[in-house]
Amino acid sequence: MAELHLHGGRAVVAGVLEAFSTIEGLRPAEAGEFTRRAFENGRIDLTEAEGLADLLTAETQSQRRASLTMAGGALGRRVSGWQTQLLRLSAELEALLDFSDEGDVGDELPASWRGSLGQLVDEIGSILRSPPIERLRDGIRVVIAGPPNAGKSSLLNSLAGRRAAITSAIAGTTRDIVEAPTAIGGQPFLLVDTAGLRESQDEIEAEGVERARQSLDAADLILWLGAPSECPDRERSLVVQSKIDLVDTPDPGVEIAVSSETGQGMDALVSTLIERAKSLLPQEGDVAINARHRAALGAALRHLEEAGATTDHLIAAEALRLARVELDRVTGRAGVEHMLDALFGGFCIGK
């Protein structure tokens, strides 16, 4: 196996590859082959390979730092510690099942057994509650919503710094979802403009309103430009009054008043978005997990909770075994062949 670093232009590279093509038994490396070999030979685990894959596509500093943390084995070390604890708990339980009729092993589990199991449940539950790493890659989904002609498209254009959405004084101009990926304060955001929320007999506009309501359900944060009393979800929303340059004072209940025309209040809105991002994005040094990790760890947690809830030692032993299988899936020790093909196929040639 060899990796070449060639000087010169494309003609030099093409010439070297042509010369190598005449050597019998020699072939170009497949995409991700070096990293896959490192994984298959135990040099890295699957979480480190995923971190490297994310690093190759990182576009912001926060994405790069999170990817480096994963590629450095932070999650793998955490899971390895859980596996060690789980093996010890399983060994104590299996000893009770197999040798309880002998004098060296008692009839009951030690008092610390359920306490250790509970600690393991708490640790895995804590990481499952952490912000997902997908938000670093896809951006915090900020949905701008409200009634027609509330200034939603103008606000999106102001935040994005470009004309991503068509604006007009005519109510109902926006009839479909308009998405604008952008970085605000070095953090990734996906701004979503939606159709004005109202009842409509127009079939196309009604479909746009339905899509707007679906976007609200999927939002990480909602910028609500309607009446504060009509805000659909106060917990996830920031009540914004637009076109403040046209009125004397903001309405009661408004949190931030802005004008896309004059820029009034935009700095305060941007600062608020950056502050909200701190709780919605993984922080530097945190172990952030993706959807695959979340599914496996969620399944492991359910099995651990089942083991803690039952008084039947056989059921508890089987639940712990299933939990170990799920932890093995996280690090790539079991049942991941198809996922490996997709993962390493997205790497650079050779890498």
- Digit-coded pLDDT (tens) for 76-100: 999 999 998 998 888 888 877 765 5
pLDDT at 102 (0 to 100): 53
What are 184's strand-pairing partners? 187
Q: How far apart are CA 91 and CA 221, in angstroms?
A: 46
Note whether 188 and 63 are within 8 A (CB). yes
Comparing CA positions, the residue from 82, 87, 88, 86 lying closest to residue 126 is 82
- Min mean pLDDT across 113-122, 200-209, 334-343 is at 334-343
Give the pLDDT score at 34: 85
pLDDT at residue 178, rounded to an integer: 80
Give the pLDDT confidence score for residue 339 in this predicted structure.
47
Q: Could you give the CA distance from residue 307 to residue 303 in angstroms, rounded to a whole number? A: 6
C-alpha dihedral over 78, 82, 87, 88, to 10 degrees?
Answer: 110
pLDDT band at 106, cuts 50/70/90?
A: low
If one compares 153 and 339, the residue with the highest pLDDT of the two is 153
3-class secondary structure, 335: coil
Q: What is the pLDDT of residue 49?
A: 87
pLDDT over 80 at 62, yes or no: no
State phi, psi for 53 to the nearest 5 degrees. -60, -40
pLDDT, position 96: 78
**How far out from the chain centre does Cα 111 lie?**
38
**pLDDT band at 122; cut points 50, 70, 90:** very high
Tokens of 68: 């480096």
Percentage of the chain exceeding pLDDT 70: 85
Higher pLDDT, 32 or 100: 32
| Euclidean distance between CA atoms 240 and 258, whole angstroms | 7
Scan for tokens 């004059």, then name that residue: 262
Instruction: Give bridge partners of residue 240 from the DSSP assignment.
Output: 256
Instruction: Indicate if the alpha-carbon torsion angle 286, 292, 298, 304 is positive or negative.
Output: negative
Bigger pLDDT: 127 vs 247: 127
Average pLDDT, the chain: 81
pLDDT higher than 50, residue 181: yes
Neighbouring-strand partners of residue 180: 191
Distance, CA of 225 to CA of 278 (rounded, Å): 23
- Predicted confidence (pLDDT) at residue 206 exceeds the cutoff of 80: no
- 241 phi, psi to nearest 5 deg: -105, 120
Cα separation values, 343 from 36, 95, 331, Å = 9, 40, 14
Tokens 């009604």 label which residue? 206
